A and B are shown apart, each in its own frame.
Chain A
Amino acid sequence: GNSVTQMEGPVTLSEEAFLTINCTYTATGYPSLFWYVQYPGEGLQLLLKATKADDKGSNKGFEATYRKETTSFHLEKGSVQVSDSAVYFCALSGQGGTSYGKLTFGQGTILTVHP
């Protein structure tokens, strides 16, 4: 079945540091890949997505590239801010068949950014 593995957390950075959160996946066919974010006290919201190999998703300074050859979708940001402190989830959605767009999530990575 489908699975997503994220790097172990928590991650603690100083403001303006570079961020990478690793994500690898196992899936049949050609899944779509997502990063969702959960800010303190809020619900999950989509951060970015990529729906085919070599696509790059980007939003709010975050980027991730769909690498089919390494089955990865690592999240990066060049300069983090305190307001980026949140829990980040990598997820995939299978294509076709009976997947119906259901999401398979990684375990989440807690990011804390200090001033």
Chain B
Amino acid sequence: DTGVSQDPRHKITKRGQNVTFRCDPISEHNRLYWYRQTLGQGPEFLTYFQNEAQLEKSRLLSDRFSAERPKGSFSTLEIQRTEQGDSAMYLCASSPPGLAGTNEQFFGPGTRLTVL
């Protein structure tokens, strides 16, 4: 399967712990996005990478969140000092080169985070 993959699929942690999620995009895709989805809502944009450069970060993202995409391949999203409000599904998507606004984004299965 050559789609977007995410690891882990589920993560349960205690409040105050740090967690890290990984996303492997489709290999030819230079754009990578992270979104967060809570129950009953649509995904909300968190951050965007073009190759290895992080070009935008949502104001929704507190300083406890950090994302990287070394070498422009896989990406990691780290949450420090987790809070119960961080419980959500974290989605990664990638899209190919071209006009960003019109391109389809391919989504991974998501990582479901539960903070106890």
Q: Interface of A with B (CB < 8 Å)? A: 4, 31-32, 34, 36, 42-46, 49, 51, 89, 91, 93-96, 98-108
Contacts and interface: CB of A to CB of B under 8 A. Distances in A.
Interface of B: 4, 31, 33, 35, 40-45, 48, 50, 55-56, 91, 93, 95, 100-110
Closest 10 pairs (CB-CB, A-B): A105-B42, A101-B100, A44-B107, A95-B101, A102-B45, A51-B102, A46-B104, A43-B109, A43-B107, A93-B101
A42 B55 CA distance: 29
B105 A103 contact: yes
A81 to B, nearest CB: 23
Contact of B48 (A51, A102, A105, A106): A102
A99 B45 contact: no
Nearest to B50: A100
Given A44-B107, A103-B105, 14 more contacts: A4-B42, A43-B109, A89-B42, A93-B101, A100-B48, A100-B50, A100-B55, A101-B33, A101-B100, A101-B102, A103-B43, A104-B45, A105-B43, A107-B40
15 contacts: A4-B42, A34-B104, A42-B109, A43-B108, A43-B110, A49-B104, A89-B43, A98-B55, A100-B48, A101-B31, A101-B101, A102-B45, A104-B45, A108-B40, A108-B41
Nearest to B98: A101
Contacts of B42: 4, 89, 91, 105-108
